Homo-oligomer: A and B are copies of this chain.
């Protein structure tokens, strides 16, 4: 059944007036009586179309249920800003895999350093990539992508998580040694191409982060968040 996102929770009826209406009527050629799923904040609303033209689609909510595709853990990736279009790949792939949010940040060795103002156009693009990947993969939420943070801003956010990991190529424990069953809000902090300065790592550790070492093979900075998301979804029974 085709899935779309709703900007607000639904009660008995729905009304779509954005580009999804064009998609539903023209591309999918759906008709009165056809069924679609609308998602909002992890809830799937199973709907029936009762009225349709090229600009609006409306109908009734038949039933609703918690989205089966949302993982049992909320995983946020704190990603030091990478070069080129690597953040696009990271957002697309981690969204498919079940990430809750992606927080780009600027560390000392970041080559690409957009400020928040420059970033506003990019954020629009990143949010679109996240929404598309969420739709395609059948997610129940669209992961939120934040504007680039400073390390201090990241550290303030860490109190929202019950487990904070930082990937460090020089040392750290193994992911397999962590008992994930106790944690529901997990943050993973990942460096850019050049990795982290030691004092940056220690700053995060002082704020409660646990160092993780991903083994002998050196992963490119975009491979790390994709792999970590897959592994954590597997270790928490979500994949």
Query: Which residues of the partner chain B approach A215 to less than 8 Å between Cβ atoms?
Result: 69, 233, 238-239
Q: In the complex the two chains form, is B175's CB within 8 Å of A234's CB?
A: yes
User: How far is it, in angstroms, between the C-alpha of A235 and the C-alpha of B174 when the chains are bound?
Assistant: 11
Q: A230-B231, A234-B176 are in contact. Are A136 and B220 (CB under 8 A)?
A: yes
User: How far is it, in angstroms, between the C-alpha of A136 and the C-alpha of B220 when the chains are bound?
Assistant: 8
Closest CB-CB distance, A67 to chain B, in whole Å? 8
Closest CB-CB distance, A130 to chain B, in whole Å? 14
A97 proximal to B (CB < 8 A): yes
Q: Which residue of B lies closest to A175 (CB)?
A: B234
The number of residues on chain A lying at the interface, defined by a beta carbon within 8 Å of a beta carbon of chain B, is 33
Q: A227-B239, A231-B239 are in contact. Are A218 and B176 (CB under 8 A)?
A: no
Query: Which residues of the partner chain B approach A220 to less than 8 Å between Cβ atoms?
Result: 92-93, 96, 136-137
A237 proximal to B (CB < 8 A): yes
Q: State the oligomeric state as a number of copies.
A: 2
Q: In the complex the two chains form, is A138's CB within 8 Å of B217's CB?
A: yes
A62 proximal to B (CB < 8 A): no
A98 proximal to B (CB < 8 A): yes
User: How far is it, in angstroms, between the C-alpha of A176 and the C-alpha of B215 when the chains are bound?
Assistant: 20
Most central of A68, A97, A137, A217 by chain B CB within 10 Å:
A217
Closest CB-CB distance, A229 to chain B, in whole Å? 8
Residue of B96, B136, B137, B223 near A96 (CB, 8 A) is: B223
Closest CB-CB distance, A44 to chain B, in whole Å? 11
Q: In the complex the two chains form, is B136's CB within 8 Å of A218's CB?
A: yes
Closest CB-CB distance, A117 to chain B, in whole Å? 32
